[in-house]
Amino acid sequence: MLIKSRCHQVCSIILAALVVFFTGTSLVYAADPFPSKPLRIIVTAAPGGTTDIATRQLSDVLSKELGQTVIVENRAGGAGIIGLQALMAAPADGYTMAMGNIGTNGINYSLYKNLPYKVEDMEPITVVLANPNVLVVNPDFPAKTVAELVALAKANPGKYSFASSGRGQSIHMSGELLRVQAGIDIFHVPYKGAGPALADLLAGQVNMMVDNLPSSMQYIKTGKLRALAVTSKNRVAELPDVPTMIQSGFPSFEVTAWFALFVRSGTPKPIVDKLYAAIKKSLETPEIKQRWKDLGGWAVGDTPANTKIFVAAEIKKWEHVAAQAKIEKE
């Protein structure tokens, strides 16, 4: 009976300890909901471009929705590859996101043989911003229309250059589309982001650029750059006097750039869902809607599932464009 009594006491103690352990664990988790510390968004481009502008504008509002600081970290270079490698090196816990775009998460798969990431390595949350590109030139450049630019380029093959934010970005591929569809000999000058490319365009070191509209808008409005055409189907309300590429004689020239937030695959679904809800709510605020409108863009905010389908379709689309432009994989 003594042995039985002692066994009963030991079992009771163990059971009590387990109850305390699991109850304590539950309390810890209950007191530590996501997010419980600052979050980070990796920008896959240099400061000054649309990827950077969109991230910084959104992070201000998103931090209020999540109740935590959202830190923006620029990791430029390698057509956005360096930034996505930084995402791959972070834990799959939702505290690190990357602002990818049409280049890093769409076009790059068509241009690089050995990318250090795959589609399956990332989980899209949502597209936060979409906008057309715009063909801009330095004000000293003699062409005032697309037709004049094409005529100049045909009369001076190999003389004129077009800048981009890096190989594989929509800015680069839009320039390639112009080269192919217009049948002109212009050469590509890649940079580590739209900011440095714009700096050289403003200084007259390069001749033209088919930039994301948001990063060029301020320079167009102040007369520091001349806009020749936008790549959307219709004219942009903020630039009513600027024709589309379609109106300029290129019926199949339509490009929409997009910017989306991604986390590492393996991030728990409840965390992805919470991030999506906060981002979507941020995109619906009057503050962000006005900011995006001023940039000539618009918020998207579709679900993670629909965003995944959209990204897959974009990859196929740009495979076709790369083949059409005869751009070989590196």
Structure tokens at 251: 């019926």
Same domain, 58 and 116: yes
- Is pTM, for the whole model, over 0.85? no
Asked whether residue 14 is domain-assigned, the answer is no
Same domain, 87 and 138: no
Asked whether residue 21 is domain-assigned, the answer is no
Asked whether residue 238 is domain-assigned, the answer is no
Same domain, 105 and 140: no
Same domain, 146 and 202: yes
CA distances from 198 to 87, 167, 171 (A): 27, 15, 12
Same domain, 82 and 118: yes
Domain count, the chain: 2
DSSP 122-133: EEEEEEEEEEEE
* Per-residue pLDDT, 32: 67
Asked whether residue 166 is domain-assigned, the answer is yes
Asked whether residue 315 is domain-assigned, the answer is yes
Same domain, 44 and 110: yes
Q: Are 102 and 170 in contact (CB under 8 A)?
A: yes
* Per-residue pLDDT, 9: 53
The CATH number that applies at residue 190 is: 3.40.190.10
163: containing domain: 132-230
* Per-residue pLDDT, 302: 95
* Per-residue pLDDT, 170: 87
Asked whether residue 309 is domain-assigned, the answer is yes
Domain boundary among 182, 212, 230: 230
* Per-residue pLDDT, 13: 46
Mode of pairing for the β-strands spanning 39-43 and 70-74: parallel
In this structure, which amino acid lies at residue 307? T
Question: How many whole angstroms separate alpha carbon 212 and alpha carbon 258?
Answer: 9
Same domain, 106 and 140: no
Same domain, 52 and 113: yes
Same domain, 138 and 114: no
Instruction: From 135, 85, 136, 130, select the one nearest 108 (Cα to Cα).
Output: 85
Helix axes 286-294, 269-283, angle to 10 degrees: 70
Domain boundary among 195, 230, 265: 230
Asked whether residue 147 is domain-assigned, the answer is yes
Question: Pseudo-torsion of CA 306, 308, 309, 312, nearest 10°?
Answer: 160
* Farthest CA pair distance, the chain: 108
Alpha helix (H) residue ranges in the chain: 2-30, 50-66, 81-89, 108-111, 146-155, 170-182, 194-202, 213-221, 269-283, 286-294, 304-324
Asked whether residue 92 is domain-assigned, the answer is yes
Question: How many whole angstroms separate alpha carbon 194 and alpha carbon 80?
Answer: 12
pLDDT, averaged in runs of 10, over the chain (330 residues) = 46 45 43 88 91 94 96 91 96 97 93 92 96 95 97 97 89 92 95 91 96 93 97 93 97 93 97 97 95 89 96 92 84
Structure tokens at 226: 């001349």
Radius of gyration of the chain (CA): 25
For residue 253, how far is the Cα from the chain centroid? 21
Domain boundary among 211, 230, 249: 230
CA distances from 250 to 128, 133, 158, 226 (A): 28, 15, 21, 19
Same domain, 183 and 105: no
Same domain, 88 and 170: no
CA distances from 36 to 33, 66, 92 (A): 6, 9, 15
Same domain, 79 and 225: no
The CATH number that applies at residue 307 is: 3.40.190.150
